[in-house]
Structure 1
Amino acid sequence: MTSLWLDGREPIRSDSLEGDSCDDVVVGAGLTGLMTALLLSRSGRGVVVLEAREVGAVTTGNTTGKLSLLQGTKYTRLTSRHPESLVRAYVEANLEGQQWLLRYCEEHDVPVQRRPAVTYAPDDAQGLKAARDEHEAATAAGLGVRWADDLDVPFPHRGGTVLEDQAQLDPMDLLEALVESVRAEGGRIVTGARVQHVSRLRSPTVRLEDGRSIRCEHVILATGTPILDRGLYFAKLEPGRSYALAYDYPDAPELMMLSASGPTRSVRDAPATSGRALLIGGDGHVVGRTRSERAHLNRLRDWTAEYFPGAVETHHWSAQDYTSHDGVPYVGGMPRSLGKVYVATGYAKWGLTNGVAAALDITAQILDGRLRWADRMHHRVTRPRSALEPVRMNAGVAVSGLQHVLDAALRGRPETPPKEGTGEVGRSGVVPVGVSTVNGRTCAVQALCTHLGGVLAWNDAEKSWDCPLHGSRFSPTGEVLEGPATRALPRRGPDGPTP
């Protein structure tokens, strides 16, 4: 599963990791990480970006690329959980992030298409109420939205709230430009460098999987979800996986659309070598908690075939995002880190604006600056409904974890290898074992997440082992793909671990 943006691109070359110290280490080479590295480098600080895989390998390279202040039903949810001052601070943060990024794209010739953003009402009473509620909430938050009863699209709807002059882009065009800018300012970007630990908080030492280490003044964790457990963010975030498909379709609507009620449907167009592409997304779920990821993709395919007949699929992929318990991103110093470790997470699928805002915020904190909207967001006071949300989230974690343990206990290790492209979890003694066959290679791994021991589930769309507890994901051979886990799965042979 390769996104439209990543397909056909050569991985961005890696700098060498020279020396054992710098001013700041940024962990993660997505938008937040590269933006933070650029801002700190411009201030004269020595910055090293460490990326476990490749630039854009995780969320940024798989996003739908919408740069919008209208974000589905975001303002309805924020208004129900927070005072008006915080909701307006969220708008200010996203506006500053959006405008900074648009200026940067213009200065560096990154292509951007201006489009209206629409939160539309599906053709039912629930969808109409949700879209109307969002229209009112967005208006109260200071956005200049308008209501449209009829939208120029082929699928049933009851209108929607529209925000003009928003933007969309190819996120990898943006990351490539940011890499060049970071290097021009003296920063280094090292790929294939997985961070496993940060020690000695008064003078942080970042330790890599291969045994290397680097000392620094500050560490910025721009990893989707923090790879350190301090602050217990894994218990305050819900990991979600959603899907996207690209089609050759010359009549794609020139709108950035998102449904106000489920099942979620996202629609946008994009430039393509053959003319124009249609992007359809949505149908998300909590990571590792579905019977079949392929079924989610197929529901999107069926919907597209019904309303966009003749569209020819070219790509399909998925992405992982994290939602905070109260809908506001967590940005700032990690608890008990003495002001040395910073974190940015919980964008809830709106990372293009929130990621830039987070980079501006963290950079200001490191350089002893202040951002008015950031102060209001840091001192958020959540209403009782939000205060109970972590209880709900972790109750779901507990139920899901127990279910996977019971399922594994009822099955022994498969006597024959699974069919091509499939995986099964059973037990070998007391340890759950995951056996898969992908590209003709059968592999067995210990099916316990190396983060907190969740029993893994097989992802039949991406051919990966996914943790239903906190969203860590592993390749069929056990390598970490994403999530809070930092260590690979132990390989298992017939009688125990393989060498």
Structure 2
Amino acid sequence: MAKLPPLPTYPESYWLQSLNGLPAYTKLQHDTEADVAVIGGGISGITTAYLLAKEGLSVILLEAGKLLHGTTGHTTAKITAQHDLIYDELINQEGIEKASLYFQANQDALRFIERTVNQHAIDCSLLRQDAYVFTNSEDYIRKLEKEMTAYESIGIPAAYVDHIPLTSISSRAAIRMDDQAQFHPLRYLESLVRQITEAGGHLYEGTTAIDIEKGQLPTVRTADGHAVTCKHVAICSHFPFYDGFGFFFARMHAERSYALGVKSNIDYPGGMYISAEDPKRSIRSATAEDGSPLLIIGGQKHKTGQGICTINHYEALQEYAANQFKTEEILYRWSAQDLVTGDKLPYIGRITDADSKSNIYIATGYQKWGMTTGTAAAMIISDLIQEKENRYEELFSPSRSLSVKTLKNLVVDNFDVAKHLISGKLEMVHRKPDDLEPDEGAAVTLHGRRAGAYRDKEGKLYIVDTTCTHMGCEVEWNNGDRTWDCPCHGSRFSITGEVMEGPAERPLPLLSEQH
């Protein structure tokens, strides 16, 4: 086994660390109004606000935390329509016409990003790359052959090859999707943020939207008691904070995946790669802050709050990087959260009422491919708000009918939720807060009740209630990222109980904070 360079002590995203710094935006501290309220400061929300502000609409964007610090800041940043092995499944599930539309929507998004980069001369390392799905497993060769047949049916420019250019990885077969792309997503979106403000848009950070009062002029209510009255609301907050009786928490599940930014002495041949089989392995190149080559190696997906000790996922990637790429140094480690729908298609568009069309829109469920689908979502929602036709509206509609197979998948997901709800309540916890070492977290017993405790490196102890404020499941300690994660619907909380990921809107109560 190759020598393993140490992991960074704390998780840090390469994209965030290599950004020169976004301007800081204040909280919303007054009632206001606009044509459109956009909720969420990731790629979907920022692109939606950019498109609408550019058309002369007044736009207000609300972000609960800091712009670009959510999933968009923790991506692998591949701009591609090659979303693992999906097209054969889509043809069988939805038909060839809808599978073709899915490809075209993502290709449209790629072209939009490229046009926008060229228009504004954005220095974001945009680079056209071929994308490969590869396998070293005999069991997956047939699946690749079927996927290639699906590509040919749709007319996707591609080739079936018996090996990949990245020769440090053994491969028995692969599909190459031609002329895809990669970039630095935050440098790209930093430019769009500037364009929004120059067009008269307003952005607010630290402003959590908690409810919408429906009507001809809907009103967004914030946690601080302020209101944004508008004509349209675009919910691009990863997990929709407003359900509209769509029961989205029951129609998706949350997954976490992991990434390392490593220095390696291999001669990288170009291209973006993902393995067909599990555990997933995703590879692409980037450039470190000192100008040297960097590899971004990702994988290790699992349902949020479930599975093995989370630091083990980083360690699995650490071992893979050392064995396959002769890793010299690991500069970054980070993880991301993604939402997966029952039919693997995002929910994008109007939340429709029983008797009318709504002026409230959502974009969610990107299944780890948010650079293209998040951009496509912004293009679709922008068109719908401006009452323009969009040929992808029906494909991604949140109110679309679901197949029997999809409904079965959702039943399995919700049975899993019920199992974790019950097991969390029955768990016997024997550890006490005083048992914890520095930089250790765990479920503990406090005054006869389950609680969550973390002792930081300086010895300060934080104790929170572990009952998730969404639907009452018991959160679990994530030692890889030092967070409290809900195994039912994927809500995540900081060591002091603050909400980091929805659908929860309220923090975990902080029971104690001791030096």
TM-score with structure 2 length normalisation? Answer: 0.91
How far apart are residue 427 of structure 1 and its match?
4.3
Give the alignment partner of residue 333 of structure 1, picking from 325, 338, 350: 350
- 1:386 aligned partner: 406
C-alpha change, 1:276 and 1:444, in structure 2 (3 Å) is: same
Contact 2:210–2:222 (Cα < 8 Å) also in 1? yes
* Residue correspondence of structure 1 range 301-320 to structure 2 within 5 A: 301-320=318-337
**Alpha-carbon contact 1:93-1:374 (below 8 Å) kept:** no
Aligned pair in 2 of structure 1 residues 213, 381: CA closer, same or farther (>3 Å)? closer
Paired AA for residue 320 in structure 1:
Q
2:452 to 429, 434, 443: 434
Is 1:325–1:389's contact at 8 Å kept on the other side of the alignment? yes
Give the superposition deviation at 1:490: 0.8
How do 1:303-452 residues align onto structure 2 when only pairs under 5 Å count? 303-336=320-353, 339-378=358-397, 381-407=401-427, 410-412=428-430, 414-428=432-446, 431-440=449-458, 441-452=460-471
- Mapped pair 1:285 → 2:302: yes
Instruction: Report whether the alignment pairs 1:53 with 2:72.
Output: no
Residue correspondence of structure 1 range 165-176 to structure 2 within 5 A = 165-176=179-190
Deviation at 1:303, TM superposition (A): 0.9
Give, in angstroms, the shift of residue 208 of structure 1: 1.6
What is the CA deviation profile of residues 81-126 of structure 1, one whole-angstrom value per residue up to 9, with x for unaligned ones?
A: 21112111111211111111111012222330111100111x2212
1:243 has 2:265 as partner: no
Contact 2:420-2:473 within 8 A present in 1 as well: no
Q: Secondary structure at the match of 2:145?
A: helix
Preserved contact between residue 94 and residue 354 of structure 1 (Cα < 8 Å):
yes
| Cα displacement string for residues 395-454 of structure 1 (whole angstroms, at most 9, x for unaligned residues) | 1111222222222xx115615152222222234467531111124321111101111111
SS of match in other structure, 2:116: helix
Q: Return the alpha-carbon distance in structure 1 between the equivalents of residues 448 and 158 of structure 2.
A: 58
1:19-418 matches, cutoff 5 A: 20-110=32-122, 111-121=125-135, 123-153=136-166, 154-230=168-244, 231-250=246-265, 251-272=267-288, 273-336=290-353, 339-378=358-397, 381-407=401-427, 410-412=428-430, 414-418=432-436
Q: Which moved more, 1:236-245 or 1:147-156?
A: 147-156
CA gap of 1:76–1:404, structure 2 versus 1, over 3 A, is farther
8 Å contact from structure 2 (residues 433, 445) kept in 1:
no
Percent identity over the alignment is 31
Task: Give the residue type in structure 2 aligned to 1:317.
Answer: W
SS in 1 for 2:392: helix
Asked whether the 8 Å contact 1:82–1:382 carries over to 2, the reply is: no
Moved over 6 A (4+): none
For residues 468 and 413 of structure 2, the distance between their equivalents in structure 1, rounded to whole angstroms, comes to: 19
Distance 1:312 1:109 in 2: 33
Q: Hey, what's the Cα distance between the residues in 1 that align with 2:23 and 2:322?
A: 36
CA distance in 1, matches of 2:268, 2:363: 34
Q: Secondary structure at the match of 2:313?
A: helix
Following the alignment from structure 1 to structure 2, what is the Cα–Cα distance between the partners of residues 439 and 338?
53
Q: Distance in 2 between matches of 1:459 and 1:305?
A: 24
Q: Is 370-379 or 99-108 further displaced after alignment?
A: 370-379
Contact residue 259 and residue 296 of structure 2 kept, 8 A: yes
User: Displacement, 1:274?
Assistant: 3.5
- Contact 1:288–1:457 (8 Å) recurs in 2: yes
Match of 2:7 in 1: none
Q: Is the 8 A contact 2:31 2:226 kept in 1?
A: no
Q: Which amino acid aligns with 2:32?
A: D
2:51 is paired with a residue of what secondary structure? Answer: helix
Looking at structure 2, the residues matched to 364 and 430 of structure 1 have their Cα atoms a distance apart, in angstroms, of 55
How many Å apart are 1:142 and its aligned residue? 2.2
1:473 — aligned with what?
A: 492
Q: Which secondary structure state, in structure 2, belongs to the residue aligned with residue 217 of structure 1?
A: strand
Q: 2:348, 2:381 within 8 Å by CA — same for their partners in 1?
A: yes
Distance 2:26 2:512 in 1: 37
Letter matched to residue 174 of structure 1:
Y
Alpha carbon RMSD of aligned pairs, Å?
2.0
- Kept after mapping to 1: 8 A contact 2:130/2:176: yes
Q: Could you list the runs of 5+ residues in structure 2 that have no partner in the other structure?
A: 1-10
Q: Write out per-residue CA displacement over residues 109-156 of structure 1, whole angstroms, 9 at most, x where no aligned residue.
A: 2330111100111x2212322322322222222211101112222112
Looking at structure 1, the residues matched to 89 and 66 of structure 2 have their Cα atoms a distance apart, in angstroms, of: 34
Whether the 8 Å CA contact 1:5–1:171 is kept in 2: the answer is yes
CA drift of 1:76 comes to 3.0
**Count of residues in correspondence between the two structures:** 492
